[in-house]
C-alpha cells in the first residue's frame, strides 16, 4: 500500500512562528502562560504543556501579574495589551504578521468610516479569537457577519467598509460580499483580506483528494479550517475520513486499498500525520 503525506498540509507560517516562540522559551526553562489554545489541536497543546506551558483563558489572564504570557497567532484586542502594561506582564507576541497587519487596517478603516457616518463589517465566525481581536480595534462596534442571516443587521443606507477573517473561505467571502453589495444603497468597499497561504489550500486539496483511493484527514475537532477542508475532501473523494489521532483509525477504511493520502488543517502538526503514516506502513 502506498501512503503519501500531503506536503502542502499542516501548520501555516503563523502557527509555526507562535509554536517556535513557545518552544524557545520552554527550552530555556522559562515559565510561560499561553492565552487560549496555541493551536486548535489538543495533541499539540498537550505536547507543549508537557514541556511546561500553561494554557489559560481570558478570565484567568485578567487576574495575572508579574509573569510572561504568549499571545497565539490569532491575535488579541487592545484590552489585552493595556492590561499587560498595567500589571507588569511581559507579552511574547505570536500574532501572525498577516493578522497583525489586518488589525491595523481595521483600526484605521473604522476611524475613517466612522468619520463618514458609516459602518464597519467583519466577515467571520462569531466568537472566534481572530474576530474578537479584530473587533477590538473598533471598540467592539463592528457588525459581525457569519451567515447570510446576519446581513440583516447592516444599515442599508450607511457607507459600509467590509473586512474578512483571514481564514474564511474565498467562496463564502465572495457570496457574502455580493449579498452585502445588493443590500447597501450607499458606497460599499469590500476588502479581500483572506490569507492566500490558507485560501490556496482548497484547490490543492481537491487535486490531492482525487489522487488517492482513501483520504485520512487529520485535524483537531475545534478547528474551523479543518472542518471546511475536510468537507472539500469528502466532496471529491467519498472515501475521506476525519480523524484526530492514530487511535481513531479503522482498518476497514483501508482494507484492499492501494493508495492512501494523509492531509490536514493549518492547525495539524506534521508529527501526528507521520505517526499515522508509520502505523499504516508498519501494519
Q: What is the pLDDT of residues 158-168, one digit of tens each?
A: 999 999 999 88
Residues 118 and 156 reside in one and the same domain: yes
Exposed / middle / buried, residue 201 (Cβ in 10 Å: 0-12, 13-18, 19+): buried
Residues 228 and 245 reside in one and the same domain: yes
- Nearest residue to 51 via CA among 40, 64, 61, 38: 38
Domain count, the chain: 3
Full-model pTM: 0.89
Residues 188 and 108 reside in one and the same domain: yes
Find out whether 67 is annotated in a ligand binding site: no
Domain that holds residue 211: 2-9+198-282
Find out whether 267 is annotated in a ligand binding site: yes
Please give the pLDDT value at position 197. 82
Q: How far is CA 131 from CA 98, 102, 106, 124, in A?
A: 13, 11, 11, 7
Exposed / middle / buried, residue 152 (Cβ in 10 Å: 0-12, 13-18, 19+): exposed
Find out whether 128 is annotated in a ligand binding site: yes
Residues 204 and 182 reside in one and the same domain: no
Residues 62 and 40 reside in one and the same domain: yes
Residues 127 and 169 reside in one and the same domain: yes
Q: What is the pLDDT of residues 213-225, one digit of tens each?
A: 999 999 998 887 8
Positions annotated as catalytic residues are 130
Please give the pLDDT value at position 123. 98
Cell 504578521 locates to 97
Last residue of a domain, one of 49, 79, 96: 96
Last residue of a domain, one of 46, 68, 96: 96
Please give the pLDDT value at position 3. 96
Find out whether 224 is annotated in a ligand binding site: yes
Cell 490556496 locates to 200
Residues 82 and 132 reside in one and the same domain: no
- Nearest residue to 74 via CA among 86, 58, 90: 58
CATH value at residue 268: 3.40.1010.20
Low-confidence stretches of the chain (pLDDT < 50) are: none
Number of residues in the chain = 283
Please give the pLDDT value at position 141. 98
Find out whether 223 is annotated in a ligand binding site: yes
Residues 155 and 113 reside in one and the same domain: yes
Residues 272 and 240 reside in one and the same domain: yes
Residues 145 and 203 reside in one and the same domain: no
- Distance, in Å, from the CA atom of 37 to the CA atom of 34, rounded to the nearest integer, reads 7
Q: Decide: 86 and 67 in contact? Cβ < 8 Å.
A: no
Residues 103 and 81 reside in one and the same domain: no
Q: Decide: 49 and 97 in contact? Cβ < 8 Å.
A: no
Please give the pLDDT value at position 199. 83
Q: Which residues of 35-70 are buried (b: 16+ CB within 10 A; e: fewer)?
A: bbbbbbbebbbebbeeeebebeeeeebeebeeeebb
211 three-class SS? coil
Please give the pLDDT value at position 169. 86
Please give the pLDDT value at position 228. 85
Cell 516562540 locates to 21
Please give the pLDDT value at position 198. 81
Last residue of a domain, one of 177, 194, 211: 194
- Distance, in Å, from the CA atom of 15 to the CA atom of 10, rounded to the nearest integer, reads 10
Amino acid at each position: 500500500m502506498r501512503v503519501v503525506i500531503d506536503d502542502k498540509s499542516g501548520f501555516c507560517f503563523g502557527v509555526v512562528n507562535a509554536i517556535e516562540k513557545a518552544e524557545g522559551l520552554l527550552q530555556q526553562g522559562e515559565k510561560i502562560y499561553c492565552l487560549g489554545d496555541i493551536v486548535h489541536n489538543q495533541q499539540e497543546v498537550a505536547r507543549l504543556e508537557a514541556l511546561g506551558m500553561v494554557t489559560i483563558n481570558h478570565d484567568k489572564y485578567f487576574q495575572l501579574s508579574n509573569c510572561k504570557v504568549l499571545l497565539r497567532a490569532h491575535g488579541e484586542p487592545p484590552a489585552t495589551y493595556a492590561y499587560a502594561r498595567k500589571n507588569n506582564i511581559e507579552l511574547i507576541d505570536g500574532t501572525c504578521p498577516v493578522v497583525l497587519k489586518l488589525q491595523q487596517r481595521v483600526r484605521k478603516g473604522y476611524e475613517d468610516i466612522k468619520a463618514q457616518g458609516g459602518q464597519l463589517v467583519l466577515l467571520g465566525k462569531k466568537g472566534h479569537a481572530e474576530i474578537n481581536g479584530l473587533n477590538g480595534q473598533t471598540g467592539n462596534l463592528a457588525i459581525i457577519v457569519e451567515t447570510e442571516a446576519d446581513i440583516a443587521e447592516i444599515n442599508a443606507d450607511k457607507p459600509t467598509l467590509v473586512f474578512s477573517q483571514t481564514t474564511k473561505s474565498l467562496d463564502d467571502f465572495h457570496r457574502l460580499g455580493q449579498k452585502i453589495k445588493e443590500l447597501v444603497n450607499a458606497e460599499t468597499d469590500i476588502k479581500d483580506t483572506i490569507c492566500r497561504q490558507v485560501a490556496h489550500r482548497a484547490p490543492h486539496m481537491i487535486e490531492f483528494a482525487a489522487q488517492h483511493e482513501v483520504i485520512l484527514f487529520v485535524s483537531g475537532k475545534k478547528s474551523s479550517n479543518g472542518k471546511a477542508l475536510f468537507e472539500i475532501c469528502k466532496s471529491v473523494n467519498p472515501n475521506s475520513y476525519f480523524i484526530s489521532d492514530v487511535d481513531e483509525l479503522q482498518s476497514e477504511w483501508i482494507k484492499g486499498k492501494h493508495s492512501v493520502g494523509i492531509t490536514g488543517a493549518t492547525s495539524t502538526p506534521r508529527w501526528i500525520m507521520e505517526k499515522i503514516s508509520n502505523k499504516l506502513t508498519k501494519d
